[in-house]
A and B are shown apart, each in its own frame.
Chain A
Amino acid sequence: MPLPRQLIKQLQRIVGRRQVDTDFAELLVYESDGLTLRTARPGCVVYPSSTEECARVVKACHGAGVPYVPRGAGTGLSGGAISDGGVIIQLSRMSKLLGIHPDDRYAIVQPGVVNNYLNLQARPHGLEFAPDPSSQAACTIGGNLAENAGGPHTLKYGVTSNHILGQTVVFADGEIATFGGPFPVRTGPDFSTFLTGTEGTIAISTEITVRLVPTAATATTMLAVYPSVSGATDSVSAILAAGVLPTAMELIDNLCIQAVEGHLKAGFPTDAAAVLLIELDGEEQLMKRDAEAVARACKANGATDFHTAQTEDERQSLWRGRKHAVGSLGKITPAFYTNDGVVPRSKLTAILQVSYKVAQGHGIRVAHVCHAGDGNIHPLILYDPDESQGPERAMACSEDILLACLEMGGSLTGEHGIGAEKRNLLPRMFTEDDLGHMLRLRDGLNREGLLNPGKIFPTGAKCGELRNQPVFPSGTWI
């Protein structure tokens, strides 16, 4: 159903005629985020340039009873920024870096600032924003905040919520509020940290104060090569048991290695069942001791080759291989579905075995990249969209892997969020009372449910309704 003409005119008055898109072709771009298996066409896209404009847009939508969804760069992988017939509030014009305060180690940004751009500006001061999702060349700080994004280096430095100090937000009724501030640690109840990871279902962040951390004085990257995946996963536990906390421990399996090497020659041996990319940073003397412990742990768990990058170029090449691992799959498959699950670290071997078996059962191939130190797996499910039931089989495979994560005491998502993708699996992870408590917060702070509806929680779930939710059969995606 088209949006009310009066609302479109009102939005045009707020942000300017050219900053409201209703053109069919333009709207196609906004039909999905990085999860292309889920699509919905918005009624229009509006581009505010300030907190005040954003608040007026929200008030206009609220007044018209029309749902609205905040959106960053659209790199999210859980369908969190799609809208079926509503208004997309596209925050890309709000991309100013409002200030870097190197002595107090914080920066203030608008939500549309790209993660990499912030780092480019901070590094000359010897500082950086620690969360580094693989999409950091495109993804925005607002999106990082909404999803509580992680990345390879969160093993040591934590996820986005550990690096948000404060934010100005627009609530679902258009009210503007500011929480937190530039102080490096927080006292008392902390609404800003709570908002981080709520996937734009409670408020829209329009100004964000982020913590900056010193760039590593030195870093060393090591590559361990394994004839079996279990050797790599066992090494992860062994390294941590040796008292070493690497900044990153990334596992890449054979199918992914094939794709990477076919695409950009990062230096991964194509006959390996898996490689582990391990990075240490910090004081040189300590790093040397830790690197020796890492080498011992890897070799003791069957690494057939262990190599330390000798030059910065070589180090960057290895990381390029990891950062482009997912994109490289485009070389070997017409489509793939990126999944995100978490298990306790000690269950890594088991979950990867299950993942391969499940994919085999569905008759499709699966590749893996894992933030292995965090127990965070990304099964990459390869499918052919033109094949009969191709996407459906991919989604069913994904669900089976996620349910296996839950059976092993894990989580449905470590960094991609629930979005529209996994909302109906959430009751498998939490009790009715747990979900009821979360819904009390959502419904209390987003009363009409117009702000990013249909995300995180099962469709139609309201506080108290959850007990009557049907249990959807395996493979059902609504």
Chain B
Amino acid sequence: MSPGVSETFPEWPEPGVPLRPKERSNVGELIRQARTRRVPVGSTGSHPWDLSRLNKTIAFDTPDMLLTVETGQTLAAAKDMVEAERLWLPLDMPGDSYLSLAEYLTQDHSLSWLSSRYGAARDWITRLTAVDDEGREVACGAKVVKNVAGYQWAPLYIGAGDALGPIVEVSFRLLPLPTSISCGQWEGKSPSSLMGIWRQGCQDSHPTGRGDPWEAIRLTRHSSQWRMEGITRFPPDAVANWGRPVRDQIQEAITTAATPPRETAIPDFKPVHRIQVLPTQIAGLLDTLAACQLDLSCYPASGIIHAGPIHDDQDKQTYTAMLDMVIAKGGRVQPLRAGAHVNRQPGRDPSGERTIMTRVKSILDPEGVFGPLPENRW
């Protein structure tokens, strides 16, 4: 046991010390103790969870294409395991090698370059087990690929930052591992030319012009360099033809891979905001952002931009005005760091999610055994 890290807790640790249960049953014991001591636990409470020791693979049924694991396991480990059996969990996040599934699920990391095609984590979870405010394990769903029995409350817990209780076990449905993937990488001077290739791919790949050939797509700007990366099941010669007219001054590399590559981390990129708009609004937003000196990562088909810190004062003004405009037009700006600017009117909750989740919190955790709901989710 690490110094200060508690296990069965004859003495309760100092605030800030993570709770690191060794066994599943310890989670409930800790919650009951916290309840008695009136100390809120979880990432927004006095003691964050460290569930890394609860990392068992409970069941991996390859013919049924289902995986059940404890959430101390990392997303990367889970993906490695299923890919070894020619199966695929179509979830990703840059730099996922260190994050436990518990953190991945509760801390709202489940968007990736795969999201526009494959959705988010909630779309792949068939069963989820959490621990409630009285320390009891509670589950919803089933270990089958299709099930509508009872309430599927998993979507309330994903992204709720442990505020409703820690997630300790999860079952995922899986897909056959795609083979013969084409990988494209394009670099250019402006986002608009790269976006042109993305759009042309959508148009050229489908007779109606409304295709979506990309398994994954991401546009980044790092150290002033614009780059787009995409993977698709279409053959390389098809990819090479998409957007031919808009390819002036674009460097491209189209390769093939036996299996889908994972989303890579952008070096030293720590986004400050997640901006969400409609896909048709992305291009205009990127043009505005191009005028500011900042790093960013964009999932164009999902309408998501993760924007990095900005240092120049003039750029700050442009950037802040853009955030306000996004909010005014019905988009979402989610601060990813404490103190990040959001021009939110007090009490304004256009999506209604904050209000209802506050109500859910009061139903499932009336005594505040767990920390409060994270402020930055809405």
Contact = CB atoms under 8 A, between A and B. Distances in A.
Contacts of B279: 103-105, 184
Contacts of A213: 212
Interface in A433-454: 433-438, 440-442, 444-445
A241 B155 contact: no
A375 interface: yes
Interface in B228-281: 233-235, 274, 276-280
A237 B108 contact: no
Given A183-B276, A342-B147, A345-B65, A189 B357 contact: yes
B31 to A, nearest CB: 13
B377 A414 contact: no
B95 interface: no
**Interface residue SS majority, chain B:** loop
A215 B208 contact: yes
Given A150-B146, A183-B278, A194 B353 contact: no
B363 A444 contact: yes
> Which of the listed residues A158, A190, A196, A245 has the most CB atoms from chain B within 10 Å of its own CB?
A190
A126 B210 contact: yes
Nearest to A437: B138
A198 B140 CA distance: 13
Contact of B61 (A196, A282, A346): A346
Interface residues of B, number: 83
Nearest to B361: A189
Contact of A342 (B142, B280, B302): B142
Contacts of B212: 213-214
A185 B304 contact: yes
Interface string A181-223: 1111111111101101110000000000000011101000000
A217 B150 contact: no
A430 B64 contact: no
> Which of the listed residues A102, A187, A213, A416 has the most CB atoms from chain B within 10 Å of its own CB?
A187
Interface in A369-383: 371, 374-376
A217 B64 contact: no
A433 B360 contact: no
B209 to A, nearest CB: 7
Nearest to A432: B136
A282 B233 contact: yes
B352 A179 contact: yes
Contacts of B278: 104, 182-183
Contacts of B86: 243
B148 A217 contact: no
Given A187-B108, A190-B122, A440 B364 contact: yes
B284 interface: no
Nearest to A375: B144
A225 interface: no
A215 B233 CA distance: 17
> Which of the listed residues B148, B157, B277, B351 has the most CB atoms from chain A within 10 Å of its own CB?
B148
Given A429-B150, A434-B140, A189 B176 contact: no
Contacts of A433: 132, 136-138
B198 to A, nearest CB: 14
Nearest to B334: A187
Interface in A310-353: 342-346
B149 A418 contact: yes
B145 interface: yes
> Which of the listed residues A177, A198, A343, A411 has the most CB atoms from chain B within 10 Å of its own CB?
A411
Contacts of A444: 359-360, 362-364
B211 A441 contact: no
Interface residues of A, number: 87
Nearest to B85: A241
Contact of B116 (A102, A184, A187): A184
A187 B377 CA distance: 7
> Which of the listed residues A161, A186, A188, A418 has the most CB atoms from chain B within 10 Å of its own CB?
A188
Contact of A374 (B123, B146, B175, B332): B146
A345 B64 contact: yes
B151 A409 contact: no
Nearest to B139: A434
Nearest to A371: B146
A187 B159 contact: yes
B146 A189 contact: no
A308 interface: no
B303 interface: yes
Nearest to B177: A243
Contacts of B150: 418, 426, 429-430, 434-435, 438, 456
Contact of A189 (B159, B211, B280): B159
A158 B151 contact: no
A51 interface: no
Contacts of B356: 177, 179, 191
Contact of B280 (A103, A191, A245): A103
A91 interface: no
A244 B176 contact: yes
B139 A187 contact: no
A285 interface: yes
Contacts of B277: 183
Given A162-B119, A440-B363, A410 B148 contact: no
14 contacts: A127-B210, A158-B119, A166-B351, A181-B351, A185-B119, A186-B122, A187-B120, A189-B159, A191-B156, A342-B147, A346-B61, A375-B144, A413-B149, A441-B364
Interface of A: 102-105, 125-127, 147-148, 150, 154, 158-159, 161-162, 166, 177-191, 193-194, 196-198, 213-215, 217, 237, 240-245, 282-283, 285-286, 342-346, 371, 374-376, 409-418, 422, 426, 429-431, 433-438, 440-442, 444-445, 456
Given A188-B334, A189-B159, A243-B176, 11 more contacts: A103-B280, A177-B356, A179-B356, A182-B278, A185-B111, A185-B115, A185-B120, A191-B353, A214-B208, A411-B144, A437-B153
List the 9 shortest-distance A-B pairs measured between CB atoms, nearest first: A126-B208, A444-B363, A188-B377, A126-B210, A437-B138, A190-B155, A193-B155, A411-B147, A344-B64
Interface of B: 61, 63-66, 86, 108, 111, 115-116, 119-120, 122-123, 132, 136-140, 142-153, 155-160, 175-179, 205-213, 233-235, 274, 276-280, 299, 301-304, 330, 332, 334, 351-353, 355-357, 359-360, 362-364, 373, 377-378
